[in-house]
Amino acid sequence: MKKLKKKAKKEAQTIINILCKYVRTMPGEYTEENLKNIGALNFTDQDTLKNESEVRRLIFSEMSDRFSKVTFENENLTTTPGIWSKFNFDFTRAPIFYPLNNLKIEKGVFTSAKFYSNADFRGSTFIKDVDFNEVTFNGKADFSSQKDAKTTFVGKASFNGANFSSETHFDELTFIEVADFSTRDNAKTTFDGKATFNGTHFSQEAKFTEVTFNESADFSAQSDIKTVFGAQATFNDVQFHKEISFNKVLFEGIADFSTKKIESFNETFMSDAKFTNTHFKKTANFSYIHSYSNNNSHKIYFKQVDFHEDSLFINTEFQTDVHFEKTVFHRKAKFNDAIFLKSVEFYNKTNFQGEAIFSGLAVWMNTKFKNVSFDDKSYFKGAILGSSTSINQQETCFYESRFDEDADFSDVHFCGINKFIDLYFFKEVSFYNSTFTGDTSFIQNPNNSFALNKITSPKYKEKAEFSDAKFEGKLHFENIEFNDGADFIRTVFYEESNFENILFKNSSPDFKDAKFTVHSSHRFTTSQNSIPCRRKKLRDPRNNKLKAYKIPIGSYLFDNDPDNPIAGPA
């Protein structure tokens, strides 16, 4: 009995091999060019190929009837083996010019196959591992679910080195096991047409390493059906040449968009990139990526995004404007040594709940933080904000924002116009050894209030450190409340300085060894309830007829070189 079963199995495999070989054979005397453009053939040839496609489709249909039966009940998968479930099916290098929709395919090996016209797999079920490695799709490729007929990959799906020459759709389908689209060795995975993965569910790891999208790519939700990455999503060294969207997407595992081949300098985003209402449940890594665009209107946009774990933008280089709106960073946000060649904006209730690390950040154009809250420590140490070589005047603006813990702006180079308007610092803030090359304003508008945890009176609650700072443009402090003192030790004022209606609540400011230029005026007024800012008149010893400068006690006057003062200390 065992021998008979073994013989029957061998004979069945032989029949399957013959059928697969037929599928792998080019039809008649037709060429690859004929199959690429069947519509250009005469009617006789078109009829011949139509009949041939029906025969080959029938072979797949008969196989489908003998494959396992797959059922889903309450999201539970049940597989009942069919009479051909244990056999092997080899469609390597097959020319396929007919639809394969609404079928079951078990152990499908399509390596290096070529699909002509439209490759239609809508509503099909791939019961075990399926291999589309180095496959060429010469026309549209559609793997989407079709109404009630859901496309499902039960086993691992491999598309390594596949070439999608036209539009491609993987909408509302489910990958139960790993989905691997990565480039393999020298075989590059390329999407030359629009690619959509709308409402797709990746239950296990999704791999898109070194994939090139030459047209738009859309991973957004499909109506109310969210796109879900249930495990790690890997987009290392990916290239998006056109628009990319990840709207209403849930990343339940690590999302890794980082560049691993740092020496190659491939551009990741080359057009608009949109992450709207996107949730990253684990670490989101955008480190070492490069973005480039020769279109000034292109933006990278994070709106209503939740980073539940660490978000990494380390050594990232953006050559497009980048916006973070209503974005929540629940853990550490690391932007250290990131480069923004254009503008970057954080605004509209963006919230840093963990440490915000911008140390070594470089922004060549405008920097804006408006209506932002920092719940933990923030670090901007060593950042360069604005470019001294730019033709256009840049602005660095912090508006209506709250810092609950220490804020470190030490050693920062502020290259353009700088505005610090309506801010609230709960803990110490330090601008130690920072340089402000343009006009700088620290202003509290008396009638302004902003709703970040019901804060209505911005102030500097603990010590404010400005020692060793250099103000090379005009400086304006207005209506600021320093609750626990302010140090301007060795600070240099190269242009006019205006301290207007300042409240030093508990201690006088310290201007020991500060330097004020004789070429501009310096004005100090304090509010009625302020501790006095003690000052003394000094004159330019080279010309006693000049007006006196009333500057803080302990400070000096200088002409051209602050290291060689001409009068003082006051």
Q: Tell me the C-alpha distance between 507 and 481, whole Å.
A: 11
Count of all residues that appear for the chain in the document:
570
Residue in 355, 418, 352, 407 with CA at minimum distance from that of residue 385:
418
Give pLDDT, residue 454. 47
- Dihedral sign computed on CA atoms, order 562, 564, 569, 570: negative
Instruction: Give per-residue pLDDT as tens, 100-128.
Output: 999 999 989 999 999 998 999 999 999 99
**pLDDT(396) > 90:** yes
Query: Residue 220: what pLDDT?
Result: 97
Q: What one-character-per-residue DSSP string does 111-149 give?
A: TT-EE-S-EE-TT-EE-S-EE-TT-EE-S-EE---BTTB
What does the longest C-alpha to C-alpha distance in the chain come to?
Answer: 123
What pLDDT sits at residue 261?
A: 73
Does the pLDDT of residue 358 top 90, yes or no?
A: yes
Q: Residue 70's pLDDT band (boundaries 50, 70, 90)?
A: confident
Count of beta carbons in the 10 Å neighbourhood of residue 20: 20
Q: Which helix (H) or strand (E) segment is 275 a member of?
A: strand 273-276
In sequence order, which residues have a C-beta less than 8 Å from that of residue 475 and are 6 or more positions away?
Answer: 436, 439, 440, 441, 493, 495, 496, 497, 498
Q: What is the mean pLDDT of residues 85-114?
A: 96
Measured from the Cβ of residue 419, the count of other Cβ atoms closer than 10 Å reads 17
Mean pLDDT of 389-394: 71
- CA distance linking residue 419 with residue 325, whole number of Å: 20
Kindly state the average pLDDT of the residues 466-483: 96
**pLDDT score recorded for residue 147:** 81
Task: Identify the band that residue 265 occupies on the pLDDT scale cut at 50, 70 and 90.
Answer: low
In this structure, of 84-88, 352-356, 400-404, 532-536, the range with the lowest mean pLDDT score is: 532-536
- Residue 383 pLDDT level (bands cut at 50, 70, 90): very high
Q: Assess whether pLDDT exceeds 60 at residue 4.
A: no
Q: What is the pLDDT of residue 101?
A: 97
What is the pLDDT, as a whole number, of residue 451? 47
Q: Are 422 and 399 in contact (CB under 8 A)?
A: yes
Flag whether pLDDT at 439 surpasses 60: yes
β partners of residue 239 = 212
The H or E element spanning position 58 is helix 43-66
Average pLDDT of every residue of the chain: 93
**CA angle (127 as vertex; 124, 132 as ends), nearest 5:** 75
CB 229 within 8 A of CB 255: yes
- Among 470, 434, 436, 486, CA closest to 563: 470
Q: What's 460's DSSP letter?
A: B
- Please write the tens of the pLDDT for every residue from 269-313: 999 999 999 999 999 999 999 998 777 778 999 999 999 999 999
Query: If 0-12 CB within 10 Å is exposed, 13-18 middle and 19+ buried, where does residue 142 land?
Result: buried
pLDDT on residue 262: 67
Tell me the average pLDDT across 455-469: 84
Element (H, E) at 430: strand 429-430
**pLDDT value of position 1:** 54
Helices (H) and strands (E) in the chain, counts: 3, 69
The Cα 193–Cα 373 span in angstroms is 41
Percent of the chain with pLDDT over 90: 82
The pLDDT value given to residue 176: 96
| pLDDT average, residue stretch 147-163 | 94
Q: How confident is the model at residue 7 (pLDDT cuts 50, 70, 90)?
A: low
Q: Stretch 497-524: mean pLDDT, rounded?
A: 94
CA nearest neighbour of 381 among 417, 429, 346, 341:
429
Average pLDDT over residues 24-28: 95
Is 293 within 8 Å of 315 (Cβ atoms)?
A: no
Among 88-92, 267-271, 442-446, 502-506, the range of highest mean pLDDT: 88-92
